[in-house]
Chains A and B, each alone.
Chain A
Amino acid sequence: MATYQEFIQQNEDRDGVRFSWNLWPSSRLEATRLVVPVSCLFTPLKERPDLPPVQYEPVMCSRANCKAVLNPLCQVDFRAKIWACNFCFQRNPFPPSYAGISEVNQPAELMPQFSTIEYIVQRGPSAPLIFLYVVDTCLEEEDLQALKESLQMSLSLLPPNALVGLITFGRMVQVHELSCELISKSYVFRGTKDLTSKQIQEMLGLTKPSVAGQPGRPPAPQDAAASCRFLQPVHKVDMNLTDLLGELQRDPWPVPQGKRPLRSTGVALSVAVGLLEGTFPNTGARVMLFIGGPPTQGPGMVVGDELKTPIRSWHDIQKDNARHLKKATKYYEALANRSAVNGHSIDIYACALDQTGLLEMKCLSNLTGGHIVMGDSFNTSLFKQTFQRVFNKDYNGDFRMAFGGIMEVKTSRELKVCGAIGPCVSLNSKGSCVSENEMGVGGTSQWKVCSLSPSTTLGIYFEVVNQHNAPIPQGGRGAVQFVTQYQHSNTQRRIRVTTIARNWADAQSQIQHIESSFDQEAAAVLMARLGVFRAESEEGPDVLRWLDRQLIRLCQKFGQFNKDDPTSFKLSESLSLYPQFMFHLRRSPFLQVFNNSPDESSYYRHHFVRQDLTQSLIMIQPILYSYSFHGPPEPVLLDSSSILPDRILLMDTFFQLVIYHGETIAQWRKAGYQEMAEAWRFAGPLPALKGQPFPDPQQPLRLGTGDWSTNPD
């Protein structure tokens, strides 16, 4: 048998799953004593170029409260054409289409290598993708120009049948009608007034004039036409929209000295959400919000328009001195929830030197799976390339994005699900496998993830409910099934099913096995997610204390030491890196707010709770590479000892790339050596870096600020 290392890697590659423990303690008590809960990082849409989707629908358990999907773990009676659900043990007949089933003619979902399988659902209408741009016009001319260009460029990246819409806002909110041929037309909303979804739809003329009698009827075709006024297929309005964007002016209302421009972000979002709600509920849609400053008026206002009143800081928040914080947060949360219900996600592209209110608005993206991008200006490559990367395509030429995902977790009887941490919202589906003990977003076995990318990763926490005195299910293995329904970017509806199983182990007798099955990387990230999740609602020191205690307990449990002899402390290999991760985590911006603005903290946390394991680890513990003349780049310690005169250091923190030139190198640069042909070896790494600010092209939203700083020379 392969090492756990290999097993883990294999599992991740095949199923996108990393469990903290790969052997599960067989009782609740033992599980509790292990400190790190049984949990996993799950990447629902892990890219599997080798996995073609099957063109039929999954076979599900007929028990109403189970509905587990047929999988390789199920026992099958080929003669009776019956299969037994491995979760509820219900015996189900195969549907007629499986009539030809036999040992030698098994459907894919029964083959072990298809523990993850993807089905294409043919039912239902396919809905187009929707992109709704919500653009702040209170920008500097330069910024606006850059943004306009980026937006115009993005039109060419969209699939021709995708629907686009445009909302601009400043003091007022304008919804642009894209279908008008005579003169450009837009609907204007006051930036200070909170409107209900119904009001918005009425004002946009989206409600049916007469609801005469046929309530059950699906929306008539003319409704689609009506909604199309604002959301048009790209191929139809390409020119129009390009012109419209080209003519976009800065918000014309004068901004008196000492004031911030009035920015009605709250209402603009409300209108966007209302518009989509009324026209395309339960259809994949992206609201892309571009802001150049904080909301300064109306609902969702984060700061007043007086420049002399600075935007809230952590200090203010701790002192409970942030006037608008609670109200605004509540407002955006409500919006986010509405949006999530309809499966629409919201991206925030915030480019400003000061804070833009991400703290209040973060939930918009966090709950709907949207992106958050934070930069200094729209006129930077950071924004431009990141934005472009949103529209990256996969090996099939499809967007690396999926919409309206619903992830369901099914567990075998000994296990219950406590919750999930990630860009999701609860669907409040109470089932038999839902634990009363909540961790993260709990109390449900289904979560909605409005927007998914191949890297979107959820942390899912379980609880072993088997009683201590109950026998370990003999020969049985604990199983977990993830059923993820989503709208693929090519508008297909798909269902991906991942079924995994782990062996039970008696913690008393098999503690070492269990220890060696520990995945310290996954555990570190999973614990970090718990910590970050707590940090959202608890005081920083409390969270740190909690983390410390967990670490201590873990070391107590698995460390080998002699009392009162610190030097005797030893951890097994499978745990050896864990304390180091915790160390870095403690001082990471996810838990430390010092020197970070509330917006930055929100931004960091946003990314942390959605990236996959590798990226998350980089965030916790940045990677430092050293480039020298003596060999290939090598990772070095995050330590000042790594600074040497003839080295170039490259630090990747996920959020930033920092290049440090050693003293000698810096002098050479000053002398212009890098311009000389002979210096190719020296120049080697730099051009590469310059041309590739995103070391990992797989990370669509990985940001690198080209902070090519050097030491004080």
Chain B
Amino acid sequence: MNVNQHTPMASPYGQPQPGYGQPAFAPLDTGYPPPYAPYNGPVSAYQTGEPPQGYSSFTTFPSKAAPANPISELSSPLDLGHGRAPPTSGPPPVSAPQAYNQYGGRHQSDMQNGPPPMTQAPPRPVVSQSYNQERVNLSGPPSSYPQHYGSPPAMSHVTSQMSGMQINSGLPNTAGPGYAPPHSSKPPVSNSFSAAPPATYTQALPPALSAPTQAPPTASQQYYGGPPPASQPPFNSSLPPTSQQPFTSPAPLPPSNQPSFAPPPSYSGPPPAQAPSPSMSQPQQSFPPTQSAFSSAPQGSFPPRAPPPTSSQYPPPPTSTPSGQYPGPLPPQQQPPFSSGPFPSRPQMPPTSMSQSNHLPPESQGPLGPPGPLQQMPPPQHAMPGGYPPQQNGAFGQVRGPQPGFTAPYPAQPNYGALGPAPGPAPSTQKRLDPDAIPSPQASDMPTVQKSRHRIDPDAIPSPIQVIEDDKAKSTEPFSTGVRGQAPPLVTTDFHVKDQGNASPRFIRCTAYNIPCTADMAKQSQVPLAAVIKPLATLPADETPPYLVDHGEGGPIRCNRCKAYMCPYMQFIEGGRRFQCGFCSCVTEVPPHYFQHLDHTGKRVDFYDRPELSLGSYEFLATVDYCKNNKIPQPPAFIFLIDVSYNAVKSGMVGIVCQELKALLDRLPRENPDLDSTVRVGFVTYNKVLHFYNVKSSLAQPQMLVVSDVSEMFVPLLDGFLVNVGESRQVIESLLDHIPEMFANTRETETVFGPVIQAGLEALKAADCAGKLFVFHTSLPIAEAPGKLKNREDKKLIGTDKEKSLFQPQVSFYNTLAKECVAQGCCVDLFLFPNQYVDVATLAVVPVSTGGSVYKYTYFQAQSDQERFLNDLRRDVQKPIGFDAVMRVRTSTGIRATDFFGSFFMSNTTDVELAGLDCDKAVTVEFKHDDKLSEETGALVQCAVLYTSCGGQRRLRVHNMAVNCCSQLSDLYRNCETDTIINFLSKYAFRGILNNPTKAVRDTLVNQCAQILACYRKNCASPSSAGQLILPECMKLLPVYLNCVLKSDVLLPAADVSLDDRAYLRQLISGMDVSETHVFFYPRLLPLMKLESGSLPVAVRASEERLSKGGVYLLETGLHLFLWVGANAQQELLLNIFGTSSFGQIDTTMTSLPVLDNPFSQRLRDMIDSFRAQRSRYMKLMLVKQEDRSELIFRHFLMEDKNVSGGASYVDFLCHMHKEIRQLLS
């Protein structure tokens, strides 16, 4: 099947090209190597040398691609792609266009680099990129490739391609792989590619705009000159049906196509590897042969890839290529930068881009052009990627133009029809993958060999890694927030933010930056409108924290009607005497002390002097009116409540906590680093009864006060419980020394829990302050007391309609308690050390409702878990935090915040109450339409958080965010952020399981995504055969990420996942921000074979196939850190990391790497440290040796694979998704 991940744009075509080009190129550069590497052993060979070849091959590929596309298109069931491929092969010429589109995309991308000249390029590139990426021709294209290249490339590739669905991006990849062999050929390749793609594109476009397109194509061809033609031909061949037609129309093209075939050789010729490639290409021409060739792996160049290809080859290329390609197409012009390095020939590309341009109306180009920044992208190694993001962001608007163009590409689909016949041939070797038939199980059932044949090439489907890398590459300039509706770089990208009137994406991220003007549109698209707000997010050192503004005794200036705070959206009128609220339009008098004259543009003269007028985020000093009971708050207090029952003592927890607290007390949060913290501390230990401690400074020894009456908790002392650390240090230290000693011989195993929190709450009440409780707890509270629980873990309920009850609290006691805690500003952090079921679902109620955190250390053992626990504790104690917070989200007329997700409590529908709010907590807010929005004014959101700082100061933190409104769905799809959408969907789903059967929740998720994608397909993508899966560029990763959500332990538990774990994860996710959910759902898998200082290795996709036996990999989920060691890992590598060269001698129980004096070890440990520093929770390092038992756990996190609990592999899920979409469309 072809999965066209469109950004709606026609650009895709163009883009794809760049993408491809890039990938190919990239390989040449640095980028490639990694991708390849992961793929397979061959990688190495491919990596360096291949890339270039790949390109060269690309030229050939194009042809292949072309056929493939056609095939896919033709055969509605893309699956058959292979079979079709043959047909396509037959039609090659026709297909060519398609190929171009798709492949062309890639090629073009390369080409495009050249093309960049096109003004359009810059903007479009983005768009185009998106398109390219979006489009994933699953089986179809690949198959075609195989056919063409078939002979040349490795059989496996081909087969894989054939069987696998080809994604447009994938196509490029395929090309890449094929080319790969001829690395040397790079330059030529690129040329060829570029040339070819352009042609294809043009061709593709041609169908619609035959004349113009052709012209461009020709141009492109011209650029490519000799080579291009060759390339084109290949494309044609691949795309044959449609493309051919178009080509045919452009008389020149057809020939070119043909020539292309011939050219391929020529191309191949050019590159060193070309020699083989040419041959390859030739075989391609002869379709039958190609196939056979593939099988035989005659194609020298391909073969190498082929082996890896199935999975790796394609993927790598796609990943890199797609992006590259995309940019390429449009970028061609832009690309120059990118390509500039790699592809001199690209200049030619422009034409290609031109052709694309056809697809993409000039408009797109125009806009794209502006995105100059995008162009900057080039800087990144893969100029392509860099370019993309920006383009996407800005340029997309225009993108629409391209879409029409797409239609052109689609024509290729017709090819599929043609392919239909082709299938015949293909089938012989490959099984058809009908979307319907695709169901993973089947595929999985088949013998591996067969599988490889039948499966869709994983490389041909959108690759998260590629997207991430592309985004990184293009985000080189600081992101300034001044432009409304501009999507920020991805969370995985390291970027600098300039606050120019909207809140930094570190504070607010939206699912969509262009929101539909009407509720109908929103409903139709099903794209959730939500923002993930992290009000107290920590900013990097080089970004200024929000300024503190003091408006004097009257308090912050606010709109009279809606009470919005002064912000950049307030319009000053009447010479500055009044201002009009941007949210409700009400006009309010400016208080005299705040008056300022306006300049000629209507801006206040002090515009730049006042953060609240010029920045998106700032803080107000709140007056006494904003305080509880109109009293200036007391500094907060921290109370440590430590379980001292048998288990707690035995596990070593008590000793560790007490020891650590001694040091931690010096590091309590403070506002002024020079002064002692004003936070007071108190201590309680408990088992079945509670022990309070009097640590008054005047005492020689601490005093213990035992409260056994747990049925009505109270605080037995006032003076001396909460003390200033500085004053009572000696007594406290004496206490902490004594606690482990006192309970060393305890035999008490029962614990209480409710009274523990009540105790802390009462203590805070008595002291009349807000604060935080740190509860260190071990077991299910079965002792007779309020909040007593019983063990209700019942595995039999899992999977039934009653499963939801397991996620609901067992008793309502804790809900009531939570409410009281919130009223007092009592935030509860819970550290759990369970050895068995503790009912996290119930215990977590209070922490979750009070803005606290839950930490869980199952089977805690001092030796192995101490480090993780202590680091968590340290961070938790020290992190910046606000208390007694109320968050209010105001919106401009037309939309309304309707739903909130996170760790907080709401007593009404608008105020989010957080007893505590720390720098790691994010709240996801969903918006709904109230009314029609206007494109002119956009939509405004103001999030104000009133809180008490750790120094006891009452403050208001205000974040403002303006987004665009659009009347075209395509704008929506072009400016949304998949990571944020996933954040929202996961939170939504995880809350849903409280009230619905898990299965229903899963179905709802799948359904909503299908609707989102179907809506795009229906309204934004150019018409194409139903067999083609077309994804919006911005959402092309939606399926893979969604699959990750569906496979999470919460929604699809493996047999060994406890109910507690699920409840724990469920609540954990609810407070996560986008970057955390991202890595949680799609873990980062880094190959460690080569480490360079300064940059991280490029990640590989989370699939077992990407793991090389000879390698070592690091996998990070935000909660876990695994070091996977391949069975055949190089000895030198092992020596560098572990100090031993023997695989067998590696001790898997180690939790930290040995400190070795070699750069590699140093670098690796630095890397691990930096990962840990990035996350709010410390990740324990787990060592996993290949084929070790523990590998099962590790595999669980390879999200693209099928998992043991029945989670679908990425490919399978994509097929399923496609099926769903088709059903919706039909």
Interface residues of A (CB under 8 A from B): 172, 174, 177, 180, 182-190, 193, 195, 199, 202-205, 247, 249, 252-254
Asked if A174 and B702 make an inter-chain contact with CB atoms under 8 angstroms apart, the answer reads no
A657 to B490, CA, bound (A): 95
Asked if B709 and A190 make an inter-chain contact with CB atoms under 8 angstroms apart, the answer reads yes
Q: Any chain A CB within 8 A of the CB of B814?
A: no
Q: Which of A182, A188, A252 contacts B706 (CB 8 A)?
A: A188
Q: A184-B704, A188-B692, A188-B706 are in contact. Are A193 and B712 (CB under 8 A)?
A: yes
Known: A203-B709, A205-B708. 9 other contacts (CB 8 A): A172-B717, A174-B716, A180-B704, A182-B742, A183-B742, A188-B716, A195-B709, A252-B720, A254-B718
Q: Which of B692, B708, B716, B741 contacts A203 (CB 8 A)?
A: B708
- Chain B 260-296 interface mask (CB, 8 Å, partner A; 1/0): 0000000000000000000000000000000000000
Asked if A184 and B712 make an inter-chain contact with CB atoms under 8 angstroms apart, the answer reads no
Q: Any chain A CB within 8 A of the CB of B626?
A: no
User: Which A residue sits closest to B691, measured CB to CB?
Assistant: A185
Asked if A202 and B708 make an inter-chain contact with CB atoms under 8 angstroms apart, the answer reads yes
- Chain B 709-743 interface mask (CB, 8 Å, partner A; 1/0): 10010101111100000000000001100100110
Q: Which of A182, A195, A253 has the most CB of B within 10 A?
A: A182
Top 6 A-B pairs ranked by shortest CB distance?
A: A203-B708, A188-B716, A252-B719, A185-B704, A187-B706, A188-B705
Asked if B689 and A203 make an inter-chain contact with CB atoms under 8 angstroms apart, the answer reads yes
Q: Any chain A CB within 8 A of the CB of B871?
A: no
Asked if B703 and A184 make an inter-chain contact with CB atoms under 8 angstroms apart, the answer reads yes
Asked if B705 and A186 make an inter-chain contact with CB atoms under 8 angstroms apart, the answer reads yes
Q: Any chain A CB within 8 A of the CB of B1019?
A: no
Asked if A204 and B708 make an inter-chain contact with CB atoms under 8 angstroms apart, the answer reads yes
Distance to closest chain B CB from A5 (angstroms): 62
User: Which B residue sits closest to A182, measured CB to CB?
Assistant: B738
A252 to B735, CA, bound (A): 21
Distance to closest chain A CB from B261 (angstroms): 90
Residues of B with C-beta under 8 A to A253: 718
Q: Which of A177, A202, A205, A249 has the most CB of B within 10 A?
A: A249
Q: Which of A174, A183, A199, A205 contacts B701 (CB 8 A)?
A: A183
Residues of B with C-beta under 8 A to A195: 709
Distance to closest chain A CB from B1066 (angstroms): 37
A247 to B700, CA, bound (A): 10
Distance to closest chain B CB from A357 (angstroms): 23
Distance to closest chain B CB from A1 (angstroms): 68
A668 to B488, CA, bound (A): 104
Question: How many A-B pairs with Cβ below 8 Å?
Answer: 65
Asked if A183 and B735 make an inter-chain contact with CB atoms under 8 angstroms apart, the answer reads yes
Q: Which of B707, B718, B741 contacts A252 (CB 8 A)?
A: B718
Q: Any chain A CB within 8 A of the CB of B699?
A: yes
User: Which B residue sits closest to A247, measured CB to CB?
Assistant: B699
Which B957-998 residues sit within 8 Å CB-CB of chain A?
none
Residues of B with C-beta under 8 A to A249: 719
Residues of A with C-beta under 8 A to B703: 183-186
Residues of A with C-beta under 8 A to B716: 172, 174, 188
- B-side interface size class: 20 to 34
Tell me the interface secondary structure of chain A in the complex.
mixed
A204 to B699, CA, bound (A): 25
User: Which B residue sits closest to A171, measured CB to CB?
Assistant: B718
A sample of 7 inter-chain contacts (CB < 8 A) reads A183-B702, A186-B704, A186-B705, A187-B708, A205-B689, A252-B719, A252-B720
Residues of A with C-beta under 8 A to B691: 185
Residues of A with C-beta under 8 A to B712: 190, 193
Asked if B706 and A185 make an inter-chain contact with CB atoms under 8 angstroms apart, the answer reads yes
A186 to B738, CA, bound (A): 16
Q: A190-B714, A202-B708 are in contact. Are A182 and B741 (CB under 8 A)?
A: yes
A252 to B715, CA, bound (A): 12
A229 to B523, CA, bound (A): 71
Q: Which of B708, B720, B742 has the most CB of A within 10 A?
A: B708
A252 to B708, CA, bound (A): 21
Q: Which of B691, B709, B741 has the most CB of A within 10 A?
A: B709
User: Which A residue sits closest to B692, measured CB to CB?
Assistant: A188
Q: A182-B738, A182-B742 are in contact. Are A174 and B709 (CB under 8 A)?
A: no
Q: Which of B714, B734, B735 contacts A172 (CB 8 A)?
A: B714
Q: Which of A183, A202, A204 contacts B704 (CB 8 A)?
A: A183
Residues of B with C-beta under 8 A to A187: 705-708
Which B783-811 residues sit within 8 Å CB-CB of chain A?
none
Distance to closest chain A CB from B941 (angstroms): 46
Residues of A with C-beta under 8 A to B707: 187-189
Residues of A with C-beta under 8 A to B692: 188
Q: A172-B716, A252-B719, A253-B718 are in contact. Are A186 and B706 (CB under 8 A)?
A: yes
User: Which B residue sits closest to A253, measured CB to CB?
Assistant: B718
A203 to B716, CA, bound (A): 14
A320 to B1155, CA, bound (A): 85
A205 to B717, CA, bound (A): 21
Residues of B with C-beta under 8 A to A205: 689, 708
Distance to closest chain B CB from A320 (angstroms): 32
Residues of A with C-beta under 8 A to B720: 252
A204 to B689, CA, bound (A): 10
A658 to B712, CA, bound (A): 52
Distance to closest chain A CB from B713 (angstroms): 9
Distance to closest chain B CB from A420 (angstroms): 40
- Chain B 671-714 interface mask (CB, 8 Å, partner A; 1/0): 00000000000000000010110000001011111111100101
Q: Which of A172, A199, A253 has the most CB of B within 10 A?
A: A172
User: Which A residue sits closest to B695, measured CB to CB?
Assistant: A183
Distance to closest chain B CB from A193 (angstroms): 6
Residues of A with C-beta under 8 A to B709: 189-190, 193, 195, 199, 203
A189 to B717, CA, bound (A): 11
Distance to closest chain B CB from A459 (angstroms): 43
User: Which B residue sits closest to A195, measured CB to CB?
Assistant: B709
A182 to B716, CA, bound (A): 20
Distance to closest chain A CB from B631 (angstroms): 16
A203 to B709, CA, bound (A): 6
Which B745-796 residues sit within 8 Å CB-CB of chain A?
none
User: Which B residue sits closest to A186, measured CB to CB?
Assistant: B705
A188 to B738, CA, bound (A): 20
User: Which A residue sits closest to B701, measured CB to CB?
Assistant: A183
Distance to closest chain B CB from A255 (angstroms): 12
Distance to closest chain A CB from B275 (angstroms): 86
A202 to B735, CA, bound (A): 26
Distance to closest chain B CB from A227 (angstroms): 15
